[in-house]
Amino acid sequence: MDKSCINVGILGWGTVGTGVSKILMNQNSLIAKNSGTELCLKKIVKRTLPATRQGVELPMDCLTTDPAEVVDNPEIDIVVELIGGVTTAHSLIKRAIQNGKHVVTANKALLAEHGGELFQLASEHKVSLNFEASTAGGIPIIKTLQESFAGNQIHSLYGIVNGTCNYILTEMHERAVDFSDVLKVAQDKGYAEADPTLDVEGIDAAQKLILLIALAYRSNISLSQFHVEGITSITQKEIQYARELGYVIKLLAIAKLTDGNRVEARVHPTLVPERSLLANVGGAFNAVCVIGDAVGPTLFYGQGAGEMPTASAVVADVIDAAKSVQQGVSSPISQAWLAGAQAEVGVCPIDDIETRYYIRFVVADRPGVLAKIGTILGNWQISIASVIQKDPHGMETVSLVMLTHKAQEKNMKAALAEIYTLEDVKDEAQLIRIEEEVDF
């Protein structure tokens, strides 16, 4: 199909939608020069009117409150969904695809829940569904996994993919402040939502991990299939003791291919060596480390959120979709996701993983406690690599901080259950997993 101008409609004119409109309006000639495709912003759906945005001058008839003027409009070739949420976005994207429109979305929650269905629908209607901005903002990790690493077996990937959590942990590490205090600052600065649950409980990172696994391993998994743990239990003591031991705590989204052709998928706070590149990703920035059998370790770093970085990724997808319109083909990303539906790669349960652990016990300050704990750990094939005793807490208790050698998760759980029966152990242990493979 030869069209002089590819028409674009945007659903949602919030922060990212504003950024997308700025790029499409202000960089139109640059986009046409670099891509050979002219993009015309035809319609924007806004919840309420009138509406204006600084730096964007729109034609009077461009804004509307009716989504049908985008998804059902025969003049529009590409629909950009930026309204967020699941139910309404799902319905509108389905309508757009059924009407033969290519779709671009930044909605990781929607794709994590309905990705398989939507990509199947896109394939049936021979349109593309692009989603680069759904994970890590302006970092081109989706396209990299799909295209640049197509000849690699991905051994593992580690992602700092939630800027809110990374900002909080960075501030706790650098300024020695408590979680609750940093969270309030993050909310005041706009890094955290008024209800930060999706971020701080690890759910946002887990949704993004689902998308990365779909591309890296051609495996479609659901949120209920893997371990997800947030950062709300991380205290200043853990930050301090981790630093003394040469580590930094990060919330990592982790995927590894095991020998048994299963994917080890998990999201949780993780100790990473302080000299590693991932340990030095600070503030609200994101990073994804991908280790392939041919390419080796690689690191992708940048702004994982915000108006213009995310808009940059959206517009890149719009340009790809425009090329699909011109050539009459769908995106290969859709086909990759569909291949995942038939993949024979299962999910490795958290109980089967093997890793090193940081454990902090609060115990009675008396002789023999360490020996009792060490005996129980040894009975469950858990070897202690190092142990330090920290200053008394008062009430005649101290912290015992241990690092273990590699152990199986189910053995660690069983050992802790037995240790908690000891009279000398006064509280549940703080347990954080350790990843050494990121040390480059």
pLDDT score, position 378? 98
CA 345 to chain centre: 21
pLDDT score, position 339? 54
Evaluate if residue 61 carries a pLDDT over 60: yes
Tens of pLDDT along 347-360?
Answer: 999 999 999 999 99
Give the pLDDT mean for 247-259. 96
Evaluate if residue 129 carries a pLDDT over 60: yes
pLDDT score, position 84? 94
Q: Which of 152, 103, 130 is nearest to 334 (CA)?
A: 130
**CATH number for the segment(s) 353-434:** 3.30.70.260
Mean pLDDT of the chain: 93
Candidate list 42, 108, 208, 250, residue with the active-site label: 208
Evaluate if residue 423 carries a pLDDT over 70: yes
pLDDT-wise least confident of 225-239, 307-321, 339-353: 339-353
pLDDT score, position 234? 98
pLDDT score, position 219? 87
Q: Which of 283, 166, 246 is nearest to 439 (CA)?
A: 246
More confident residue, 342 or 184: 184
pTM comes to: 0.94
Give the pLDDT mean for 286-295. 97
The reply to whether 208 belongs to the active site is yes
Evaluate if residue 89 carries a pLDDT over 80: yes
* Percent of the chain residues topping a pLDDT of 90: 82
* Percent of the chain residues topping a pLDDT of 70: 95
Tens of pLDDT along 146-187?
Answer: 899 999 999 999 999 999 999 999 999 999 999 999 999 999
**CATH number for the segment(s) 141-304:** 3.30.360.10
pLDDT score, position 131? 95
Give the pLDDT mean for 67-88. 97
Which amino acid is located at 163 in the chain? G
Give the pLDDT mean for 354-370. 96
Q: What is the chain's percent helix, strand, coil content, to nearest 5?
A: 40, 25, 35
Evaluate if residue 338 carries a pLDDT over 70: no
Q: Where are the alpha helices (DSSP H) in 147-264?
A: 163-175, 179-189, 197-200, 203-217, 236-244
Evaluate if residue 334 carries a pLDDT over 60: no
Q: Which of 387, 382, 436 is nearest to 241 (CA)?
A: 387
Every domain of the chain and the residues it spans: 6-137+307-341, 141-304, 353-434
pLDDT score, position 335? 56
pLDDT score, position 331? 62
Give the pLDDT mean for 230-258. 97
Q: Assess whether the region 6-137+307-341 and the region 353-434 belong to the same CATH fold.
A: no
Asked if residue 432 lies in contact with residue 357, where contact means CB atoms within 8 angstroms, the answer is yes
Evaluate if residue 74 carries a pLDDT over 90: yes
Q: Which of 265, 271, 301, 268 is nearest to 284 (CA)?
A: 301
pLDDT score, position 57? 82
Burial category of 57 from C-beta neighbours within 10 Å (exposed 0-12, middle 13-18, buried 19 and up):
exposed
Evaluate if residue 41 carries a pLDDT over 80: yes
Architecture of domain 6-137+307-341: 3-Layer(aba) Sandwich (3.40)
Q: How confident is the model at residue 98 (pLDDT cuts 50, 70, 90)?
A: very high
Residue 364: how many CB atoms within 10 A of its CB?
Answer: 16
